[in-house]
Structure 1
Amino acid sequence: MEGLTFLSVDDVLLIHADTIENDGGSHGLRDHGLLDAAVAMPRQQFGGAFLHEDIAAMAAAYLFHIAQNHPFVDGNKRAAVMAALAFLRLNNVTRLPPPQELEAITRRVAAGEVRKEELTKWLRSHIGKPQ
Protein backbone atom coordinates (compact mmCIF):
# COMPACT_ATOMS: atom_id res chain seq x y z
CA MET A 1 0.00 0.00 0.00
CA GLU A 2 1.64 3.15 -1.19
CA GLY A 3 0.77 6.76 -0.67
CA LEU A 4 -0.86 6.41 2.73
CA THR A 5 -1.06 9.41 5.01
CA PHE A 6 -0.46 8.59 8.67
CA LEU A 7 -1.23 10.71 11.71
CA SER A 8 1.56 12.22 13.76
CA VAL A 9 1.62 12.60 17.53
CA ASP A 10 0.98 16.32 17.01
CA ASP A 11 -2.08 15.49 14.88
CA VAL A 12 -3.49 13.31 17.66
CA LEU A 13 -2.74 15.97 20.28
CA LEU A 14 -4.74 18.47 18.19
CA ILE A 15 -7.56 15.96 17.73
CA HIS A 16 -7.67 15.43 21.49
CA ALA A 17 -7.65 19.17 22.22
CA ASP A 18 -10.53 19.68 19.77
CA THR A 19 -12.62 16.90 21.34
CA ILE A 20 -12.10 18.34 24.82
CA GLU A 21 -12.96 21.86 23.62
CA ASN A 22 -16.09 20.65 21.82
CA ASP A 23 -17.38 18.02 24.25
CA GLY A 24 -15.87 18.97 27.59
CA GLY A 25 -13.47 17.20 29.88
CA SER A 26 -9.97 17.74 31.17
CA HIS A 27 -7.04 18.69 29.01
CA GLY A 28 -3.75 16.98 29.61
CA LEU A 29 -1.43 14.23 28.54
CA ARG A 30 -0.94 11.50 31.13
CA ASP A 31 1.88 9.61 29.39
CA HIS A 32 3.66 10.81 26.25
CA GLY A 33 5.35 7.43 25.75
CA LEU A 34 1.99 5.65 25.60
CA LEU A 35 0.74 8.18 23.04
CA ASP A 36 3.91 7.77 20.96
CA ALA A 37 3.49 3.99 21.00
CA ALA A 38 -0.19 4.13 20.05
CA VAL A 39 0.39 6.55 17.16
CA ALA A 40 3.34 4.52 15.85
CA MET A 41 1.46 1.19 15.69
CA PRO A 42 -0.40 1.62 12.37
CA ARG A 43 2.78 2.36 10.43
CA GLN A 44 4.90 -0.47 11.85
CA GLN A 45 6.65 -2.65 9.26
CA PHE A 46 8.68 -5.82 9.18
CA GLY A 47 10.69 -6.78 6.13
CA GLY A 48 9.23 -3.87 4.20
CA ALA A 49 5.61 -4.97 4.75
CA PHE A 50 3.11 -3.26 7.01
CA LEU A 51 2.15 -5.32 10.06
CA HIS A 52 -1.40 -3.96 9.75
CA GLU A 53 -2.25 -5.26 6.30
CA ASP A 54 -4.95 -2.84 5.14
CA ILE A 55 -6.49 0.54 5.87
CA ALA A 56 -9.13 -0.95 8.18
CA ALA A 57 -6.44 -2.68 10.26
CA MET A 58 -4.48 0.57 10.48
CA ALA A 59 -7.54 2.56 11.56
CA ALA A 60 -8.32 -0.17 14.09
CA ALA A 61 -4.76 0.15 15.43
CA TYR A 62 -5.22 3.89 16.06
CA LEU A 63 -8.55 3.34 17.79
CA PHE A 64 -7.50 0.27 19.78
CA HIS A 65 -4.13 1.50 21.03
CA ILE A 66 -5.23 5.02 21.95
CA ALA A 67 -8.30 3.66 23.77
CA GLN A 68 -6.32 0.92 25.52
CA ASN A 69 -3.20 2.95 26.37
CA HIS A 70 -5.15 5.83 27.96
CA PRO A 71 -2.42 8.38 27.22
CA PHE A 72 -4.67 11.34 28.06
CA VAL A 73 -6.09 12.51 31.38
CA ASP A 74 -9.59 12.46 29.84
CA GLY A 75 -11.22 11.86 26.48
CA ASN A 76 -9.24 8.79 25.43
CA LYS A 77 -12.16 7.01 23.75
CA ARG A 78 -13.23 10.17 21.93
CA ALA A 79 -9.67 10.87 20.77
CA ALA A 80 -9.30 7.24 19.67
CA VAL A 81 -12.45 7.39 17.53
CA MET A 82 -11.61 10.77 16.04
CA ALA A 83 -8.04 9.69 15.23
CA ALA A 84 -9.27 6.56 13.44
CA LEU A 85 -11.84 8.58 11.49
CA ALA A 86 -9.28 11.26 10.62
CA PHE A 87 -6.91 8.57 9.31
CA LEU A 88 -9.67 7.07 7.16
CA ARG A 89 -10.70 10.47 5.78
CA LEU A 90 -7.08 11.45 5.06
CA ASN A 91 -6.83 8.29 2.99
CA ASN A 92 -10.03 8.94 1.04
CA VAL A 93 -12.36 6.49 2.76
CA THR A 94 -15.79 8.07 2.44
CA ARG A 95 -18.10 5.38 3.86
CA LEU A 96 -17.62 5.44 7.62
CA PRO A 97 -19.27 3.47 10.43
CA PRO A 98 -22.52 4.75 11.97
CA PRO A 99 -21.63 6.94 14.98
CA GLN A 100 -23.75 4.99 17.49
CA GLU A 101 -22.22 1.67 16.49
CA LEU A 102 -18.72 3.13 16.55
CA GLU A 103 -19.32 4.53 20.03
CA ALA A 104 -20.60 1.17 21.28
CA ILE A 105 -17.67 -0.85 19.98
CA THR A 106 -15.19 1.75 21.26
CA ARG A 107 -16.62 1.42 24.77
CA ARG A 108 -16.16 -2.34 24.49
CA VAL A 109 -12.57 -1.89 23.27
CA ALA A 110 -11.76 0.39 26.21
CA ALA A 111 -13.31 -2.14 28.61
CA GLY A 112 -11.08 -4.89 27.19
CA GLU A 113 -14.02 -6.80 25.71
CA VAL A 114 -12.95 -6.52 22.05
CA ARG A 115 -9.56 -7.58 20.68
CA LYS A 116 -7.85 -5.62 17.94
CA GLU A 117 -8.49 -8.42 15.44
CA GLU A 118 -12.23 -8.28 16.16
CA LEU A 119 -12.23 -4.50 15.82
CA THR A 120 -10.42 -4.81 12.49
CA LYS A 121 -13.02 -7.25 11.15
CA TRP A 122 -15.80 -4.98 12.37
CA LEU A 123 -14.25 -1.94 10.66
CA ARG A 124 -13.73 -3.85 7.41
CA SER A 125 -17.45 -4.56 7.32
CA HIS A 126 -18.39 -0.94 8.08
CA ILE A 127 -16.13 1.16 5.84
CA GLY A 128 -15.78 1.59 2.12
CA LYS A 129 -12.68 1.28 -0.01
CA PRO A 130 -10.46 4.35 -0.46
CA GLN A 131 -11.56 6.47 -3.43
Structure 2
Amino acid sequence: MADIVEGIHYLSVEDFIYINRTLIEAQTPSEPIDVINHNNLCSSQARPSVVKYYQQTDDMFELSAALIESLIQNHAFANANKRTAMMAGYMFLLLNGYELTAPGDEIVVMAEGMARKVYNCEDLENWLCYWSRPYDSRNLCDCEISSLVVTATQVKIE
Protein backbone atom coordinates (compact mmCIF):
# COMPACT_ATOMS: atom_id res chain seq x y z
CA MET A 1 0.00 0.00 0.00
CA ALA A 2 1.18 3.52 -0.74
CA ASP A 3 3.04 5.47 1.94
CA ILE A 4 1.97 9.07 2.59
CA VAL A 5 4.74 11.55 3.36
CA GLU A 6 4.05 15.29 3.58
CA GLY A 7 0.76 14.78 1.73
CA ILE A 8 2.26 12.83 -1.17
CA HIS A 9 1.32 9.19 -1.74
CA TYR A 10 4.39 7.13 -2.66
CA LEU A 11 4.24 3.57 -3.97
CA SER A 12 6.22 0.90 -2.13
CA VAL A 13 8.68 -1.63 -3.55
CA GLU A 14 6.03 -4.27 -2.87
CA ASP A 15 3.57 -2.27 -4.98
CA PHE A 16 6.01 -2.29 -7.91
CA ILE A 17 6.52 -6.05 -7.58
CA TYR A 18 2.75 -6.57 -7.50
CA ILE A 19 2.26 -4.34 -10.55
CA ASN A 20 4.96 -6.21 -12.48
CA ARG A 21 3.54 -9.64 -11.61
CA THR A 22 -0.04 -8.63 -12.41
CA LEU A 23 0.86 -7.11 -15.78
CA ILE A 24 2.88 -10.13 -16.86
CA GLU A 25 0.23 -12.61 -15.71
CA ALA A 26 -2.49 -10.65 -17.56
CA GLN A 27 -0.61 -9.88 -20.78
CA THR A 28 2.37 -12.19 -21.29
CA PRO A 29 1.99 -15.14 -18.90
CA SER A 30 4.82 -17.14 -20.47
CA GLU A 31 7.41 -14.51 -19.47
CA PRO A 32 9.50 -15.12 -16.34
CA ILE A 33 8.56 -12.98 -13.34
CA ASP A 34 11.50 -11.92 -11.21
CA VAL A 35 13.26 -8.99 -9.59
CA ILE A 36 16.77 -9.09 -11.03
CA ASN A 37 18.16 -6.10 -9.14
CA HIS A 38 16.52 -5.28 -5.82
CA ASN A 39 18.87 -2.35 -5.15
CA ASN A 40 17.82 -0.71 -8.42
CA LEU A 41 14.18 -1.27 -7.53
CA CYS A 42 14.68 0.39 -4.14
CA SER A 43 16.51 3.25 -5.85
CA SER A 44 13.57 3.75 -8.23
CA GLN A 45 11.12 3.71 -5.34
CA ALA A 46 13.07 6.48 -3.60
CA ARG A 47 13.55 8.61 -6.72
CA PRO A 48 10.37 10.76 -6.43
CA SER A 49 11.10 11.66 -2.80
CA VAL A 50 14.73 12.48 -3.66
CA VAL A 51 13.58 14.73 -6.51
CA LYS A 52 11.02 16.36 -4.21
CA TYR A 53 13.70 17.12 -1.62
CA TYR A 54 16.52 18.30 -3.87
CA GLN A 55 14.37 20.14 -6.42
CA GLN A 56 12.09 21.50 -3.67
CA THR A 57 9.03 20.61 -5.73
CA ASP A 58 5.59 19.16 -5.17
CA ASP A 59 4.89 19.00 -8.91
CA MET A 60 3.24 15.61 -9.39
CA PHE A 61 4.19 15.46 -13.07
CA GLU A 62 7.87 16.02 -12.27
CA LEU A 63 7.77 13.41 -9.51
CA SER A 64 5.88 10.89 -11.64
CA ALA A 65 8.26 11.44 -14.56
CA ALA A 66 11.22 10.82 -12.25
CA LEU A 67 9.64 7.57 -11.07
CA ILE A 68 8.85 6.33 -14.58
CA GLU A 69 12.27 7.24 -15.95
CA SER A 70 14.00 5.53 -13.05
CA LEU A 71 11.99 2.31 -13.36
CA ILE A 72 12.64 2.13 -17.11
CA GLN A 73 16.35 2.95 -16.92
CA ASN A 74 17.15 0.87 -13.81
CA HIS A 75 15.69 -2.28 -15.37
CA ALA A 76 15.04 -3.97 -12.01
CA PHE A 77 12.73 -6.68 -13.38
CA ALA A 78 13.42 -9.62 -15.68
CA ASN A 79 10.53 -8.48 -17.93
CA ALA A 80 7.89 -5.76 -18.33
CA ASN A 81 10.00 -2.89 -17.02
CA LYS A 82 8.35 -0.33 -19.34
CA ARG A 83 4.85 -1.61 -18.60
CA THR A 84 5.55 -1.59 -14.88
CA ALA A 85 7.00 1.92 -15.05
CA MET A 86 4.05 3.36 -16.94
CA MET A 87 1.52 1.64 -14.66
CA ALA A 88 3.40 2.84 -11.57
CA GLY A 89 3.41 6.38 -12.96
CA TYR A 90 -0.31 6.13 -13.69
CA MET A 91 -1.03 4.94 -10.16
CA PHE A 92 1.27 7.54 -8.59
CA LEU A 93 -0.62 10.29 -10.41
CA LEU A 94 -4.01 8.80 -9.56
CA LEU A 95 -3.19 8.55 -5.86
CA ASN A 96 -2.02 12.17 -5.93
CA GLY A 97 -4.99 13.75 -7.67
CA TYR A 98 -4.46 13.29 -11.41
CA GLU A 99 -5.70 10.78 -13.95
CA LEU A 100 -3.54 9.91 -16.95
CA THR A 101 -5.86 9.78 -19.98
CA ALA A 102 -3.39 9.03 -22.78
CA PRO A 103 -4.49 6.39 -25.30
CA GLY A 104 -2.67 3.07 -25.17
CA ASP A 105 -0.67 3.68 -28.35
CA GLU A 106 0.60 7.01 -26.98
CA ILE A 107 1.68 5.28 -23.77
CA VAL A 108 3.60 2.70 -25.80
CA VAL A 109 5.35 5.38 -27.87
CA MET A 110 6.41 7.31 -24.76
CA ALA A 111 7.60 4.22 -22.87
CA GLU A 112 9.62 2.95 -25.81
CA GLY A 113 10.99 6.44 -26.45
CA MET A 114 12.13 6.72 -22.84
CA ALA A 115 13.81 3.32 -23.01
CA ARG A 116 15.67 4.30 -26.20
CA LYS A 117 16.40 7.77 -24.80
CA VAL A 118 14.52 9.45 -27.63
CA TYR A 119 12.69 11.35 -24.88
CA ASN A 120 14.11 12.73 -21.64
CA CYS A 121 12.54 13.25 -18.23
CA GLU A 122 11.38 16.78 -19.10
CA ASP A 123 9.66 15.48 -22.26
CA LEU A 124 7.93 12.84 -20.15
CA GLU A 125 6.92 15.43 -17.56
CA ASN A 126 5.34 17.62 -20.25
CA TRP A 127 3.64 14.57 -21.81
CA LEU A 128 2.17 13.55 -18.44
CA CYS A 129 0.88 17.08 -17.89
CA TYR A 130 -0.69 17.18 -21.36
CA TRP A 131 -2.45 13.82 -20.99
CA SER A 132 -3.64 14.23 -17.39
CA ARG A 133 -6.69 15.76 -15.78
CA PRO A 134 -7.55 16.43 -12.14
CA TYR A 135 -8.91 13.42 -10.28
CA ASP A 136 -10.56 13.30 -6.87
CA SER A 137 -8.36 10.72 -5.18
CA ARG A 138 -10.81 10.55 -2.25
CA ASN A 139 -12.64 8.06 -4.49
CA LEU A 140 -9.74 5.71 -3.79
CA CYS A 141 -10.01 5.77 0.02
CA ASP A 142 -10.86 2.10 0.36
CA CYS A 143 -9.06 1.03 -2.77
CA GLU A 144 -6.08 -1.30 -2.74
CA ILE A 145 -3.24 -1.03 -5.25
CA SER A 146 -4.30 -4.42 -6.62
CA SER A 147 -7.70 -3.15 -7.75
CA LEU A 148 -6.11 -0.17 -9.51
CA VAL A 149 -3.79 -2.40 -11.52
CA VAL A 150 -6.58 -4.68 -12.69
CA THR A 151 -8.35 -1.79 -14.43
CA ALA A 152 -5.38 -0.90 -16.61
CA THR A 153 -3.87 -4.21 -17.72
CA GLN A 154 -5.25 -3.96 -21.25
CA VAL A 155 -2.36 -1.81 -22.54
CA LYS A 156 0.52 -3.92 -23.83
CA ILE A 157 3.92 -2.28 -24.11
CA GLU A 158 6.53 -4.37 -25.90
- Same fold by TM-score greater than 0.5: yes
Candidates 94, 100, 104, aligned match of 1:99: 104
What's 1:80 paired with?
Answer: 85
Task: Give the CA RMSD over aligned residues.
Answer: 1.8
AA matched with 1:65: S
Give, in whole Å, the separation in 2 of the partners of 1:97 and 1:67: 18
Percent of aligned pairs sharing the same letter = 29
Task: Give the deviation of 1:129 after TM superposition.
Answer: 3.1
Q: What's the counterpart of residue 38 of structure 1?
A: 44
1:63 is aligned to: 68
Instruction: Give ranges in structure 1 of 5+ residues lacking alignment.
Output: none
In structure 2, the partner of 1:8 is 12
Structure 2, unmatched stretches of 5+, are 1-5, 137-158
CA contact (8 A) 2:90 2:100 kept: no
Structure 2 length-normalised TM:
0.74
Moved more, 4-13 or 121-130: 121-130
Taking a change above 3 Å as real, the CA distance of residues 95 and 111 of structure 1, as seen in their structure-2 partners, is closer
Verify the 8 A CA contact 2:68 2:86 in the aligned structure 1. yes
> Which protein has the bigger strand share?
2
Query: Aligned pairs, how many?
Result: 128
TM superposition outliers: structure 1 runs of 4+ over 4 Å: none
Letter of the 1:35 counterpart: L
Paired position in structure 1 for 2:24: 20
How big is the shift at 1:63? Answer: 1.3
The residue type equivalent to 2:25 in the other structure is E
